[in-house]
């Protein structure tokens, strides 16, 4: 996914887990966050909720990109404040469309 993003002109930063992701988001103030769900410690749903509730990061769109493909996962992710929810593997075309839509709406 990092390669897809960079090929399309995006700068990327990564985090190993939800806690690190929240810290980096506060520090870097990215234009957008792609969030996995399955991570050690703080999972993606919890991290998304914290990011969207915190005034420092609430304006950053979060797109959940995960292997979790149940409708309940999608609904739960959106309820946590995610802008969108994509199931892996995701095509480059769909990923870019969702990213551009989220950035345009922000």
Comparing CA positions, the residue from 41, 1, 34, 33 lying closest to residue 17 is 41
Q: What pLDDT is recorded for position 12?
A: 97
Give dist(CA 102, CA 20) in Å, integer.
23
pTM passes above 0.85: yes
Beta carbons within 10 angstroms of residue 60's beta carbon: 20
pLDDT surpassing 90 at residue 101: yes
pLDDT surpassing 90 at residue 31: yes
Q: What pLDDT is recorded for position 3?
A: 93
Q: What pLDDT is recorded for position 6?
A: 96
Q: What pLDDT is recorded for position 106?
A: 81
CATH classification for the domain delimited by 31-105, as one of 3.40.50.2300, 3.10.180.10, 3.40.50.720, 3.30.1370.60: 3.40.50.2300
Q: Which two tokens stand for residue 79?
A: 């309820």
Q: What is the pLDDT of residues 46-78, one digit of tens each?
A: 999 999 999 999 999 999 999 999 999 999 999
* Secondary structure E strands in 11-88: 33-35, 62-66, 84-87
């Amino acid at each position: 996914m990092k390669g897809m993003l960079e090929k399309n002109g995006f700068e990327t930063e990564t985090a190993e887990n939800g806690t690190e992701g929240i810290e980096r988001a506060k520090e870097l103030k990215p234009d957008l966050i792609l969030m996995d769900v399955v991570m050690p410690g703080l999972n993606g749903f919890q991290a998304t909720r914290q990011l969207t509730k915190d005034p420092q990061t609430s304006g950053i769109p979060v797109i959940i990109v995960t292997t979790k493909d149940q409708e309940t996962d999608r609904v739960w992710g959106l309820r946590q404040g995610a802008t969108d929810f994509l199931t892996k593997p995701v095509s480059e075309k769909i990923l870019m469309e969702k990213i551009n839509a989220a950035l345009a709406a922000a």
